[in-house]
Amino acid sequence: MIGVQSGATSMDPHFHALAPNAAVRDHLFDRLVHQDEKQRLVPGLATAWRSIDDLPWEFTLRKGVKCHDGSEVGPEDVIASGKRGPGVPNSPSSYAAFVRPVVDISVVDGNVLRMRTSAPAPLLPTMLSAVAIVSRTAVEAPTAGFHSGKAAMGTGPFRFAEFVPNARVVLARTDAYWGATPAWQKVPL
């Protein structure tokens, strides 16, 4: 068991920008850009990113990454996640602040996305390191079940197994994870 000071309030990675939720989110879902232990930006689902001019940014997606539902991650998943994040109903702390500068996302080619911002946004990669990328299939489902974890279709090193609000979260290792394989088969938090 891994101890955490307080329990997660939801398995929805876009519901509440709260530290316990983010701690769980980071095991279930990847972001375009990750931060290492010193908060330096490192590749996540994007292997590279660059500012083109003052407003557009390009992100090159990692190829061959699978969501926990077996679908391959593509630009559509990033677009669906970017649209969903700021609009989750009843969110006590929206993710809108992390994606607010982005006014348009388009596909340049199969694995390159272009994000246009409303004003220069030099911290955009840092901001996006907080936004989980979820399967667009889960986003589009009529009864998504994000709070309960049923729709926790991410790409992280662990997949959802069980959630009892404010009591326990159980995660199971994803053997097909694109990064380093976690040492533990199952992790209760």
In the chain, which ranges are continuous DSSP H helix? Answer: 19-28, 75-84, 96-99, 124-128, 136-140
Terminal Cα distance for the chain, rounded: 6
Nearest Cα to 24, choosing from 134, 128, 152, 143?
152
CB 157: neighbour CB atoms within 10 A?
Answer: 21
Virtual torsion, Cα 52, 127, 70, 137, nearest 10 deg: -90
**Residue linked to tokens 């079940």:** 145
What tokens appear for 102 in the block? 């982005």
Q: pLDDT tens for residues 132-168?
A: 999 888 888 755 688 888 888 899 999 999 988 877 8
Question: pTM for the whole thing?
Answer: 0.90
| 98-132 pLDDT per residue, tens | 888 999 999 998 899 999 999 999 999 999 999 99
